[in-house]
Chain A
Amino acid sequence: MTGAAGAVGGYVVPLAQDRGWRVTGLARAEDEKFVRGLGAAFTADAAPGWDAVADGAVLQEQGVALVRDGGLFVGVQPGAAPPEVRGVTVRVVVAQPDGARLAQLLDATASGGLPARVHAVVPLDQVAAAHRAVAKGGVRGKYVLQP
């Protein structure tokens, strides 16, 4: 899981484990505690050879390069699937509304099975600063705008 400490990665890691995958999270060294806390192994070294790569970090072609020959790459940018090479299957996911599934995910969040990461709760007049911080990168969790 690339970007394992990000918003997508934080959800994919436990959900993939629920489906029987043995997951290793790729993230910055300072995120090791969080990634391991999700029950995944951890690496800060983007080395190739993985059966499947879920690309929360949007590495795209660089992410495909991490997959072994004939493996699976799952991207998160609809309409921007990287080319399939070396027999690697490329798929791209996009969120779809599903009330029943959403209820399950909310329950999992309430019970602690899924991480809910709030970086900061800020008033609306700080929205510009929040956007700048997100664009800069390195924010873990979401800004929540509140009156």
Chain B
Amino acid sequence: MVPSATRSRISALKSTSQLCRRTPTPSRQSGTLEGSTFRGNDGEPLPVDLAVGSRVAGLVAGFDRDFGTYAEQLVVPARDTALVPDGLDLVTAPRSRSTAWPQPSSSTCSATAEAGACW
């Protein structure tokens, strides 16, 4: 796992209501949630500046890779993501838009997305 990374689940099969939930997928978590701050098993806040449920966008660059627009899940560095402004919906910000939650064991966070873009 890449340190300080965001795991983005880029799926065209997720509904908006599923995406906006603030509850992480239990099978992928081992820490606890306190409000929107995720804490690891040691109780310390994780070094990810994304609140659970944040709408984020990111770019996965390059061409020589074995995943693309239709990947269901991606891991990208957290520094490569940005919050989607409230005034921008997730259809008009279609590049890897997703919602996020932290991953406790590796300073990462996960996200699901509602749609993919056809390039």
A131-B118, A147-B15 in contact; A102/B85 too (CB < 8 A)?
no
The interface on chain B, measured as residues whose beta carbon lies within 8 A of the other chain's beta carbons, has a size of 33
A106 touches B59 (CB 8 A): no
List of B residues within 8 angstroms of A147 by Cβ: 12-15, 114-115
Choose from A94, A97, A109, A142 the contact partner of B118 (Cβ within 8 Å): A142
Which chain B residues have a beta carbon within 8 Å of chain A's beta carbons? 12-15, 57-61, 63, 76-88, 91-94, 114-119
Q: How far is A131 from B78 in the complex, measured between Cα atoms in Å?
A: 31
Choose from B57, B61, B92 the contact partner of A94 (Cβ within 8 Å): B61
Q: Mark A80-116, 1 if CB is under 8 A from B, else 0.
A: 0000000000000011111110110011011100001
Choose from B63, B81, B85 the contact partner of A110 (Cβ within 8 Å): B85
Say yes or no for A145: interface residue by CB 8 A criterion: yes
The interface on chain A, measured as residues whose beta carbon lies within 8 A of the other chain's beta carbons, has a size of 29
Choose from A78, A96, A145 the contact partner of B117 (Cβ within 8 Å): A145
Which chain A residues have a beta carbon within 8 Å of chain B's beta carbons? 78, 94-100, 102-103, 106-107, 109-111, 116, 118, 121, 124, 127, 130-131, 134, 142-147
Most A-side CB within 10 Å, residue of B12, B60, B86? B12
Choose from B14, B78, B82 the contact partner of A102 (Cβ within 8 Å): B82
A100 touches B82 (CB 8 A): yes
Please give me the 5 A-B residue pairs with the lowest Cβ-Cβ distance, nearest first.
A97-B80, A103-B82, A143-B118, A116-B92, A110-B87
